[in-house]
Amino acid sequence: MGPETREGGVVTRTRPRLLVIDDDQLMRKLLSRVLNGKGYETIVAQDGAHARELFSRDTFDLVLTDVHMPKVDGIAVLKQIRERDPDLPVILFTASPSAETAIGALQLRATAYLTKPIDPQRLIEEVEKALKMHELARVRKQAHQLVQSGASRDAAESEASNQFDRALAGLFMVYQPIVRLSDKRVFGYEALVRSSEPSLPHPGALFDAAEKLKRWDDLGRLIREKSVVPLGQAAPEVSLFLNLHARELLDETLYDRSSALAEASSRVVLEITERAHLDTVPDVESRIERLRALGFRIAIDDIGAGYSGLNSFTMLRPDLVKLDMALVRDIDKDAVKRRLATLLVQLCDDLGIAAVGEGVETAAERDTLLGLGCDLLQGYLFGRPSAPFIMPKFEG
């Protein structure tokens, strides 16, 4: 993880260096104590200006910064970091979350947006995840530089292809429940892809590899094939939610009436992801209609995430939409988020569209969404992605 040093020509690594920025001295001490206790090297800055001085003479593996600080706030710190290093993970935290700072964090690709008081276990989980992602980005960058330089280009491409083949061979699906809270029943399960291949350790890396190798069809077909296999184990009224990348709309096998997926179409909700790519799909409306004619329902995700989500209503005319987890997180504490969620749920209700709140982690978030009229919910509070098909937890 940490910065590289050389001794006798051998590259070694020190423990990860973390920078904590907060104008509250007590908070700096508390965070340092938690992080140092986990073996991290923690440097502290009393404000954004102090952090700027440290950046000029030192390097860090991760930055944790308060949002609201005098002179240079956390969003400004994040912007400065992105100008210097687009990959450095940054975790924001605040006692006063707002839609404005949350959107700013999303736009500048913050790794996490936490609310004070910060749960120590949640903090460590986010730090560990961020450091893993940073290491992966570093390895990717090195590999990219190697290929761009022309050194071992064929060997690098061959190894990338071999890694992807191994990932496909080790591909499996996990399923997370979606519940209807009003009668405490399972509405459906979302199928999520995983692989046992260590070089592509999470779905994002797998999808990146598929794009670089131009093997979206191989990945999409295998996911569709494997996702539907255990559906017969679920009750007949339970639906299967399956993520569908916009590029998959170009794959004619998707429309094959004889496929196992099409045969189960009355129970399948195709959830369109990467909506930014829809503009590159010719005749997208007619392709969606072909899927409807086969019996599939259509869902769109990330509504409320701050970009072109609302335009998808017109293009896709979905049966269901998912409220983005950034909107759901701490919605019980944020009046702006509650107002936006209320408007979106009312819009869905007016259009006859079912709204699903995703990323629900607390009972307070659950109760707030239910009070806004959002009865379909998904998140760790009810069950983590696992083998098919666990019974969700309704109490808590």
Residues 6+ apart with CB under 8 A from 389: 175, 177, 186, 189, 230, 233, 234, 238
State the pLDDT confidence band at 144, using cuts at 50, 70 and 90. low
Higher pLDDT, 76 or 135: 76
CA 358 to CA 302: how far, in whole Å? 9
- Average the pLDDT over 131-145 and give the result: 75
φ/ψ of 65, rounded to 5, equals -140, 140
Whole-angstrom CA distances from 206 to 96, 200, 209, 211 are 36, 6, 5, 9
Mean of all residue pLDDT scores within the chain: 88
Could you report the per-residue pLDDT of 286-339, keeping only the tens digit for each? 999 999 999 999 998 877 654 445 566 777 889 999 998 888 999 999 999 899
CA 153 to CA 149: how far, in whole Å? 8
Q: What is the reported pTM?
A: 0.63
Residue 6 reports pLDDT greater than 50: no
Instruction: Please tell me the least confidently modeled range out of 20-29, 138-147, 186-195.
Output: 138-147
For residue 305, the model assigns a pLDDT of 55
Residue 175 reports pLDDT greater than 70: yes
For residue 13, the model assigns a pLDDT of 46
- Tell me the three-class secondary structure of 150-193, residue by residue: CCCHHHHHHHHHHHHHHHHHCEEEEEEEEEECCCCEEEEEEEEE
Contact assessment for residue 347 and residue 315, using Cβ atoms and an 8 Å cutoff? no
Contact assessment for residue 379 and residue 356, using Cβ atoms and an 8 Å cutoff? no
Domains (ranges, CATH) in the chain?
A: 4-140 (3.40.50.2300), 153-378 (3.20.20.450)
Could you report the per-residue pLDDT of 332-365, keeping only the tens digit for each? 999 998 998 999 899 899 999 999 999 999 999 9
Burial bucket for residue 74 (CB in 10 Å: 0-12, 13-18, 19+):
buried
CA 163 to CA 212: how far, in whole Å? 12
For residue 3, the model assigns a pLDDT of 44
- Average the pLDDT over 28-41 and give the result: 93
Could you report the per-residue pLDDT of 245-277, keeping only the tens digit for each? 888 999 999 999 999 999 999 999 999 876 657
Could you report the per-residue pLDDT of 208-244, keeping only the tens digit for each? 999 899 999 999 999 999 999 999 999 999 999 999 9
- Average the pLDDT over 177-195 and give the result: 95
